[in-house]
Amino acid sequence: MSLTFYSSHNERISKSSSETKKAYEKRERKGIFKRNPHLRIMFIDLFIVLLFIFILVPLFIKITRKVEVDDYKFTTKTIIFEKKLLLSIKISKGYKKINKRVTTNTIKIVILSKDGTVLDKATEIFPIDAGDNKFITFKLDNPSIKLLSIRLSSGEFKKIYNVSIER
């Protein structure tokens, strides 16, 4: 073995053994994610965040059956009790300060069947103090209904959403 030193990387590899050449060939074939593990971790994190934002959050909002407007939150629950359909709407006033309100001080609630016929309706006043809750209940005679639509309207706010019935 001679003591000649090659300053060029390619010259050193060309004069080395076949095992060393194979090892360097495998090392050079790496992709960008194998050479940079931080980039791979960043893309995995980005994928998880996007999955959470676009899939899990909308799914969770649909499951919780909550509607929010201004500083009011509407939560709906339906059950069947003694061959009657009981629908409860909880209106909660939050602690947010609203500069420009969309709603007035009253809310009109209309309960619609799947085909659009009006089953019941009511007009109520929103809770006044922050942290207060107001419960509005409806008792419907037809427990065989599978899906109800609720139409909420107050001022410029109008929302129609479906509520499934727990059995």
CA distance 88 to 138: 6
**Domain range summary for the chain, segments of one domain joined by +:** 9-63, 65-164
User: Is the CB of residue 89 less than 8 Å from the CB of residue 76?
Assistant: yes
- Express each pLDDT in 18-32 by its tens digit: 888 787 776 665 666
User: Is the CB of residue 150 less than 8 Å from the CB of residue 144?
Assistant: no
- Express each pLDDT in 111-130 by its tens digit: 988 787 888 889 988 888 88
Long-range contacts of 155-164 (CB under 8 A, 24+ apart): 155/101, 155/102, 155/103, 155/104, 156/102, 156/103, 157/69, 157/70, 157/102, 157/103, 159/67, 159/69, 160/112, 161/65, 161/67, 163/65, 163/76, 163/78, 163/87, 164/78
Which residues on neighbouring strands pair with residue 163, listed in sequence order?
A: 148
First to last CA, the chain: 86
Residue with the bigger pLDDT between 39 and 58: it is 39
- Express each pLDDT in 127-158 by its tens digit: 888 888 999 998 888 777 777 888 999 888 89
CA distance 42 to 146: 45
Nearest CA to 83 out of 16, 128, 150, 143 is that of 143
Class of domain 65-164: mainly beta
CB burial of 85-124 (b: ≥16 within 10 Å; e: otherwise) equals bbbebebbbeeeeeeeeebeeebebbbbeeeeeebeeeee
- Express each pLDDT in 42-78 by its tens digit: 999 999 998 888 887 777 666 556 778 888 888 888 8
CA distance 85 to 138: 8
